[in-house]
Amino acid sequence: MKEKAYIHDNEYYYSIIRKNIKKFRLEKNLTQQDLADMTEMSREYICDIENEKRNKHLTIAVLGRISEALGIDIADFFKVNKF
């Protein structure tokens, strides 16, 4: 019998993306307000994205805006790091 490949759920990937957004933002010494201003989003929205307890989902377009503002390849948000 062929083994089924393990597939992670959406929350797994959202968790990785959230952590990476915060990590890259902090590496660039930016506040949530700085990133909000750079992406023309509200600070509250950036906070919601980064905060796992708020369970805020984001679109690929929003992720693209954040990646452009941070100067990060969008694929880097999906890399699993040891946090």
Pull the structure tokens for residue 28. 């660039």
pTM (two decimals): 0.85
Q: Give the CA distances from residue 13 to residues 43, 71, 75, 78, in Å, rounded to whole numbers and listed in that order.
A: 22, 21, 12, 7
CATH architecture of 10-78: Orthogonal Bundle (1.10)
Tell me, what's the pLDDT at 24? 97
CB 26 within 8 A of CB 20: no
pLDDT tens digit sequence for 50-66: 998 877 778 999 999 99
Query: Could you give phi then psi for residue 72, rounded to 5 degrees?
Result: -115, 140
pLDDT tens digit sequence for 3-16: 667 788 888 999 99
